[in-house]
Structure 1
Amino acid sequence: MKEISTKYGNFIPQHTDNELRRKEILPITYHASGAVKSLPLEKQALVTTPVGDIPAELITFHSNGGINRIFPLNGKLSGYWSQDDEAALAEPVTIETPIGSITARIISLSFYENEALRSVTLWPGDTVSVSTPVGFLEVRIGISFTPDGKVSSVEPAKPAHVETPAGVITAFDPDAVGVNGDENSLVFDKNGEVTRVTTTLTRLKAIHPDGAVSVFTPATRESLCSEAEEEIVPMTVFINGPEVAIRTKANQPPTRVPREKHVFFTEPYLPQLANSLEMMRCSV
């Protein structure tokens, strides 16, 4: 099989399959310019990247030849090969990030066209402690960075109290899905200010100029555990320059409240305490 040449070396593309993990031979794809876009490898190979040497079974590239994403494993999940089977093959790797070294099992790494690290996606169940604009946090699923190396977003692994222009909000999204680490529920701007945060544990109040008070709390939905049970729907708060926007339901637009002449404050929202400290969640 002819090797494929890239700026990171020559690699043998996948040309055989496996009845359990790799049930089909994935094709090499190309950009319109003719540059390689997606390269599945025959065997896991060590690739020297800007953040360290990373094992890879699949590499995707930007049109300029730089790595877009690198996947240490690329097995196909099925009734015969589960996520747990694939995860058992994952080995911890150490990468050099803008906020220091991280050692964890990695689903993928993403890079900008200038080769700066864009995001880290962790295997389900894995967490790392990282420095963020709101202090050290235990993070799951993913971490993303700006092109100049600042933390852009993280997915808190457990409830964390964070300061925002709308008050202290307990950040945690129990519904977070780890497709990739590019976008996460706790988001920062270039100055490190919180611009988006998701919570099930905080109530937000806005006092209007006329003295009226608007109260925003996470909604509820029928639990997947039982029709007789309800579970909390995460509420998302957006701080967009001159306004605060609050979305209490995913299928509804947020309510927008100007920051000017309004006073915001927060308080704990703990309806779970009425049901043995925590309502059942079968969705996670």
Structure 2
Amino acid sequence: MNTTATSLDTPCGSIPVHGPVERFPDGGPRSCTPCGPAALATRFGTLVPQHSTDDLRRRTVQALTFHPGGLPRCLPLEQPTRIETPAGVIDAELLTFHPDGSLRRAFPLNGKLSGYWTEADEGALAKTMEVSTPLGRLTAKIISLCFHPCGTLASITLWPGEEVALPTPAGTLAARVGMAFRPDGSLRSIEPARPQAVPTPAGSIMAYDLDAVGICGDANSLCFAPDGRVEGVTTSLTRVLARRDDGSEQVFAPGTRESLCGDAERESAPMRLEFAPGVARIRNGERAPWVRLELSRVRLRAEPALTGFALGPGAGLARASCGI
């Protein structure tokens, strides 16, 4: 339901608005577009929603959205605002909240990408910052910090090109894109920055996901169980042989697919492996079915996969550059 109003009263304060106010079926506000200064009282101090624009980064006023009950859900800020988070004090341009009012995400930057303002333009404004994590202090350019409702750090999303060294149950590993944590602080997952050997029930596997998308660090390709064992890994450099008690053997290996560059180019298609107590699951490609293996009935052995791609000493895997 939409209604037109000149101001909107919320539990955090009154907001001058432009245009219709979208509401929930019970009449509570769902979203609005501020048209002037407002001071919202929150547990993180007084926050001023975005109400003005500029010619490049913020060409429109972004909507302020609410949870049922009237507490802010997504709050673009008029100016970079110093916020005290469980990971430390940061300057933020966008905040999102859990329904109880606790902080969900904090974004240091909130420029809108367009033909006039690119990711490179926005990235040039990103500042290296130091935050506190369950793994210790981390210094990097950060897109966002995410928090559990209990207040502990849930994930960190890094800017493209950023790389950090992290202590993990598999040793110190280089990570890109991001990392995620459980509410108790244990490491849930990271995105390896380059092929790195990790121990699994099948043996040592070279972990690396060619298809990793650097949008969000909430879910990553190298996953750890609460006890520290590897419970999920994506690889393009390792194949797995499954030998059954009757002597039969099945081979699981990364495949290939047509490159986005076309012209009959081929590129590696990563293989996904997941492990639970007594069970392994393997899938070669997102559209392929999972194969479930009972570890009491098969013996797994990991070995290098000859993909036919020239990698050179120390080189990571990458898609061919074709201007896409």
What letter matches 1:243 in structure 2?
V
Q: In structure 2, how many angstroms separate the alpha carbons of the residues matched to 1:99 and 1:175? A: 26
Q: Deviations over 1:182-209 (max 9, x none)?
A: 0000001100111100000001010012
Give the equivalent residue in structure 2 for 1:159. Answer: 195
The answer for the alignment partner of 1:76 in structure 2 is 112
Aligned to 1:19: 55
Residues 48-87 of structure 1: pairs in structure 2 closer than 5 A:
48-87=84-123
Question: Residues 128 and 138 of structure 1 are in contact (CA less than 8 Å); yes or no, is this contact kept in structure 2?
Answer: yes
CA distance in 1: counterparts of 2:210 and 2:300, whole angstroms: 25
2:320 aligned with 1:281, yes or no? yes
1:182 paired residue number: 218
Aligned to 1:231: 267
Larger relative contact order (CA 8 Å, sep ≥ 6)? 1
8 Å contact from structure 1 (residues 218, 233) kept in 2: yes
Using structure 1 for the length normalisation, give the TM-score. 0.96
Between 1:223-232 and 1:121-130, the stretch displaced more is 223-232
Return 70-79 or 264-273, whichever deviates more.
264-273
| Deviates most, 115-124 or 220-229 | 220-229
Give the whole-Å Cα distance in 2 for the aligned partners of 1:264 and 1:245. 12
Distance 2:77 2:303 in 1: 52
Mark the CA change 1:280 to 1:43 in structure 2 (over 3 Å): closer, same or farther: closer
Cα distance, 1:36 vs structure 2 = 1.2
Please tell me whether residue 259 in structure 1 is matched to residue 295 in structure 2: yes
Q: Structure 2 unaligned runs (5+)?
A: 1-36
Local SS of the residue matching 1:39 = strand
Matched position secondary structure for 1:163: strand
Matches of 1:258 and 1:197 in 2, distance apart? Answer: 18
Provide the C-alpha distance between the structure 2 equivalents of 1:276 and 1:46, rounded to a whole number of angstroms: 45
Give the whole-Å Cα distance in 1 for the aligned partners of 2:115 and 2:63: 23
* Superposed displacement of residue 242, structure 1: 2.5
Give 5+ residue unaligned stretches, structure 1.
Answer: none
Identity of aligned residues (%): 45
In the superposition, relative to structure 1, how do residues 280 and 7 fare at CA in structure 2: closer, same or farther (>3 Å)?
closer
Q: Distance in 1 between matches of 2:178 and 2:111?
A: 20
What CA RMSD, in Å, does the superposition of the two structures yield over aligned residues?
1.5
Determine helix, strand or coil for the equivalent of 1:84. Answer: helix
Residue aligned with 1:85, SS: helix
Equivalent-residue separation in structure 2 for 1:18 and 1:115 (angstroms): 34
Supply the AA of the counterpart residue of 2:71.
A
Q: What SS does the corresponding residue of 2:308 show, helix, strand or coil?
A: helix
- Counterpart of 1:136, as a letter, is T
Q: Which residue, 60, 67, 74 being the options, matches 1:38?
A: 74
Equivalent in the alignment of 1:93: 129
Contact 2:210–2:318 (Cα < 8 Å) also in 1: no
Instruction: Say which of 163, 166, 176 aligns to 1:130.
Output: 166
Whole-Å separation in 2 of the counterparts to 1:235 and 1:17? 45
Q: Distance in 2 between matches of 1:136 and 1:126?
A: 16
Which of 276, 296, 299 is equivalent to 1:240?
276
Please give the secondary structure, in 1, of the residue aligned with 2:69. Answer: coil
* Alpha-carbon distance between aligned partners in 2 of 1:182 and 1:3, rounded to the nearest angstrom: 31
Q: Is the 8 A contact 1:201 1:270 kept in 2?
A: yes
Report what 2:155 is aligned to.
119
Once the 2 structures are TM-superposed, how far is the Cα of residue 19 of structure 1 from its aligned partner? 2.0
Aligned-partner Cα distance in 2 for 1:132–1:280: 27
Distance 1:40 1:228, change over 3 A: same
* Residue equivalent to 1:103: 139
Q: Cα offset for 1:270?
A: 3.0
**TM-score of the superposition, structure 2-length normalised?**
0.84
Q: Displacement, 1:282?
A: 3.8
Shift, 1:276, TM fit: 6.7
1:43-91 per-residue CA deviation (whole Å, 9 max, x = no partner) reads: 1111111111111000000111110000000111111111000000000
User: What is the number of residues matched between the two proteins?
Assistant: 283
Q: CA deviation at 1:280?
A: 5.1
State how far apart, in whole Å, the 1-side matches of 2:233 and 2:311 are.
26
What residue identity is the alignment partner of 1:198? T
